[in-house]
Structure 1
């Protein structure tokens, strides 16, 4: 069975579900049905979200499970949150971006741990 797609592959417009069919008795129901917010996530975003939930929101566990860094986990999480329509405080987002940039620079060896600590305070 295929996952419901939410965007038109031709023009990119929003698709509506208008027909449901029972796999057992072939009953068909036609109407305009709504998709959940999760139906608008890409396969990768949905997999990340499932992993995040399975790890009970523990970012360290998500890092290990997916083999990605803390800043990458945060960026993916922020992307999913935004796509689901839950945008946080813009000031907080800006501060978080600065912190993530410091952590990324540390991870890539561009700054020392001492510099990172100083910048994060």
Structure 2
């Protein structure tokens, strides 16, 4: 099921991570200010509700002026996986088609001190 988001959404929460509306990705000891394209692509993947996001659709939405190579998206996904460290598997490549985000996502601020168990990967973390 897709997550309904708009520009006023303050954050999207998945596993131990929070993607804030200002482009910051926080989780554990990480506090990363994502470049605008990385923030936009991650937000699109999070909002997809686990559905396949085709390369063409991601390129169309993240680079609306259209003059961009597939390599830009590939580099963006590579950087996002690097930021997610051990959770890089949340962004799954569907070869020849696109990408799928595999961890459940919810809108809002993470509650403090609550243990979260990802239903996809089974990873437990404090959020």
TM-score, reference length from structure 1: 0.36
Structure (1 or 2) with the greater strand fraction? 2
Larger Rg: 1
Structure (1 or 2) with the greater helix fraction? 1
